[in-house]
């Protein structure tokens, strides 16, 4: 089975995570896909495939004869889809022999070459899109499909390989995917997350990241008697937003430039809450951004009274490059294997985070490979069957490269 065929089966399973939940997994529906994957892994010969109580799917492929001294490689992808956009009732649309032009998706959505110039390079491929009403879920069900196809390919073509560890994790989209993965049980020397963009992509540095939430207590007074008495919590939330640099938002930054991203604002006169995710590759700039938030909290409490504004900053992940540098053979091998498929390796800093970042800091060096997908987390998401095939070839090549060491 080709990887895209598996993707079509997986994306219709609703697995959106919930950042408000305090459990792992954050949504029980992630077990729906997890249980299917365990069954498929067993059918592909992975005898110890299992899912634990926290929805971590794991399995191991023993080394073939003559490769037992090869490094143990891990491959990881995540089960959940982002809560930014609906992942329920996904209806993937297949565009065979895509003409490289604009596509009317439906629901008033249009995939255009003006917005995504790379579409022209996908001409002639089998393109998979949404119907304009949901995200597609290639982030990261494409990664899962590619790893599953790797497993099938190794067995079917009897490719020599060292020991391989597989994991599919919950809740990556809300920053918790790597937290409870049992690394002793996973048992790998290093790993790759398959959770990126274009099929030639290799990522080994990412944003430092925190979530920042301001909780605001107002004083509600009849507006006719409000002068010098009312403190409008909702208006203070707007004031907080106005105190941040307007050019340091996702829509105005690129590359290694950091940002403050307003993700939620709610409230009324009495109480309000405003939430941000804060990102930067540079450690000093990252610390400065957090200090800016604390200064806003201090300034508003001095202005409106102690306790009016309470700021909570929660670490989400750190830049993995610090942990990857001592193990750059992982990156160099991936680049060589991408080149062998006739592609130029694309090294890009992740403007986000992956399970690999947290795993690297837990002691498992884990750069990230592309899946062949684009425009994740929204209705313009798309991927090609041929791009997914290329990723599978890269994964097979990586396994073969390490089996010879």
**DSSP assignment of 360-380:** HHTT----EEE-SEESTTSTT
Catalytic residue among 140, 172, 205, 355: 172
Q: Confirm whether 172 is a catalytic residue.
A: yes
Q: What angle do CA 92, 98, 102 make, to 5 degrees?
A: 85
What does the DSSP 8-state code read for residue 351? S
Q: Confirm whether 257 is a catalytic residue.
A: no
Catalytic residue among 80, 152, 239, 280: 80
Q: Output the 3-class SS for 156-204.
A: HCCCCCCCEEEEEECCHHHCCCCCCCCHHHHCCCEEEEEEECCCCEEEC
Q: How far apart are CA 113 and CA 359, in angstroms?
A: 36
Q: Which residue from 59, 92, 267 is spatially nearest to 181, judged by alpha carbons?
A: 59
Cα–Cα distances (Å) from 79 to 16, 171, 194, 237, in that order, read 9, 7, 12, 34
Q: Which residues pair with 167 in a beta bridge?
A: 58, 76
Q: How far apart are CA 107 and CA 367, in angstroms?
A: 37
Catalytic residues, which ones? 80, 172
């Amino acid at each position: 089975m080709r990887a895209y065929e598996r993707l079509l089966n997986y994306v219709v399973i609703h697995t959106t995570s919930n950042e408000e939940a305090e459990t792992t997994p954050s949504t029980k529906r992630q077990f729906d896909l997890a249980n299917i994957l365990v069954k498929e892994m067993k059918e592909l010969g992975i005898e110890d495939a299992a899912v634990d109580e926290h929805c971590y799917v794991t399995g191991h492929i023993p080394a073939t004869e003559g490769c037992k001294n090869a490094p143990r490689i891990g491959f990881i992808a995540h089960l959940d889809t982002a809560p930014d956009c609906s992942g329920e009732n996904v209806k993937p649309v297949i565009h065979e022999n895509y003409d490289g032009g604009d596509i009317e998706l439906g629901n008033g959505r249009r995939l255009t070459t003006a917005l995504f110039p790379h579409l022209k390079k996908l001409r002639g491929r089998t393109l998979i899109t949404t119907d304009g009403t949901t995200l597609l879920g290639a982030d990261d069900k494409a990664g899962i499909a590619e790893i599953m196809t790797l497993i099938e390919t190794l067995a079917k073509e009897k490719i020599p390989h060292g020991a391989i560890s597989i994991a599919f994790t919950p809740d990556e989209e809300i920053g918790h995917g790597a937290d409870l993965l049992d690394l002793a049980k996973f048992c790998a020397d290093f790993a790759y997350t398959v959770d990126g963009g274009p099929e030639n992509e290799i990522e080994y540095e990412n944003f430092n990241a925190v979530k920042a939430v301001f909780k605001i207590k107002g004083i509600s007074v009849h507006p006719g008697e409000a002068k010098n008495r009312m403190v409008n919590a909702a208006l203070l939330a707007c004031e907080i937003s106005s105190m941040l640099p307007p050019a340091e938002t996702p829509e105005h930054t690129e590359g290694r430039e950091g940002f403050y991203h307003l993700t939620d604002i709610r409230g009324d006169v009495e109480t309000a809450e405003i939430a941000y995710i804060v990102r930067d590759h540079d450690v000093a700039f990252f610390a400065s951004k957090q200090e800016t938030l604390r200064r806003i909290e201090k300034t508003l409490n001095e202005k409106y009274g102690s306790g009016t504004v309470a700021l909570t900053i929660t670490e989400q992940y750190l830049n993995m490059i610090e942990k990857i540098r001592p193990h750059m053979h992982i990156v160099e091998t991936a680049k060589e294997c991408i080149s062998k498929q006739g592609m130029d390796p694309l090294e890009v800093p992740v403007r986000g985070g992956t399970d690999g970042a947290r795993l690297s800091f837990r002691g498992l060096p884990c750069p990230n490979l592309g899946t062949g997908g684009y425009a994740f987390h929204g209705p313009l998401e798309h991927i090609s069957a041929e791009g997914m095939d290329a990723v599978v070839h890269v994964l097979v090549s990586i396994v073969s490269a390490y089996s010879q060491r």
